[in-house]
Amino acid sequence: MTNYQSCYLKMLLGLAPSLRSYPAIIALLPFFPETLDELENIIREILLLTTDQSSDLSGITAIKREHRERLINFTYDNTNKIIAFAKVSNDARLLAEVKVTQTELRAMSDMALLNCVDLVLKRADEKLDLLSNFGINAISQTQQKERRNLFLEVVNAPRTELMKQSQVTSQVADLFAKADEALKKLDALVEIVRMDHPDFYEVYQRSRKIVMTGKSSIAMRGTVLDAATNEPVIGAIVTIVAIEGTPALPDGKIVKVSADKGGFNVKSMGDGMYRLQASKPGFKDCFTEVAVSCSELTVVELKLEKR
């Protein structure tokens, strides 16, 4: 839910019980009891849906981060073994194809990392007999393929979860629209007893107010760091675009500049998958993909490697 919807729901949850404490007056108003019943049913449906919607992406994101790191470490170890073979056998082409640093692997986008892993696996398969003395064999290949497939599963998981959440978000919006229509009816009916029952009228008007809380509107908080020193990088350009399947951003992209502590904040981002690129002269560009949900703050780190 959005912050406004949360505050709206809080008002609804307080309004209905307040009105139920005046049964005699409610009975005097035509269609009021039926409309209040309808409103309470809508509230129950919203609560059921938003409970489902609260299954946020933080758990999925943490699992993805863990599998990504495992894949990077295993791939880096295997590439070092293949590099050793390439140097000993004077295979310059193989050396050029598989030579990659751990920092470069971490800086890759998810799909770029998977493509790199696939290339390493393919080259190792082609020379598997020759690589056995260097620690690359059928077992290690199977282990790397398993890690690769596990990572691919969790890469796709946020997209699946976001599709579910998008459907729930649409249903919740429809329910709030129905609640608004019911409230308009109650607003009109309560005017009938404005003079005869001022206490009831005052309770209704007071309970009917939507009180906006001070909840932060920040959707994403990021930090740009030097990959070698972990120190903040000031003045890096961070460009954010929506990935296919996520509604496009209003201007096609969001551009931020990292501040004194390497930080940047982004407001008003819809649910979906986004690709981030961080760049600064003297550093290699860094890419990453993140899932954003309006129900939680998305925290991201971008690490730049010096050229």
Spatial CA neighbour of 46 closest among 163, 161, 178 = 178
Q: What does CATH list as the number for 218-304?
A: 2.60.40.1120
Q: How far apart are CA 298 and CA 37, in angstroms?
A: 38
Q: Which residues, listed in sequence order, are joined to residue 267 by a DSSP beta bridge?
A: 218
> Looking at residue 298, what is its pLDDT?
84
- Phi, psi at 30, each rounded to 5°: -65, 135
> Looking at residue 158, what is its pLDDT?
60
Q: What is the pLDDT along the chain (307 residues), one digit of tens a residue?
A: 677 788 899 999 999 999 999 999 999 999 999 999 999 999 999 888 776 554 455 556 667 788 889 999 999 999 999 999 999 999 999 999 999 998 889 888 888 899 999 999 999 999 999 999 999 999 999 999 999 998 888 777 666 655 666 677 788 889 999 999 999 999 999 999 999 999 999 999 999 998 866 555 678 999 999 999 999 999 999 999 988 777 778 788 999 999 989 999 998 787 778 899 999 999 999 999 888 876 677 889 999 999 8
> Looking at residue 262, what is its pLDDT?
94
Q: Torsion angle, CA of 250/253/259/264, rounded to 10 degrees?
A: 70
For CA atoms 49, 215, 271, 296, the dihedral sign is: negative
Distances in whole angstroms, Cα of residue 262 to Cα of each of 108, 222, 275: 20, 8, 18
* Domains in the chain: boundaries: 1-215, 218-304
> Looking at residue 47, what is its pLDDT?
87
Q: How far apart are CA 291 and CA 157, in angstroms?
A: 10
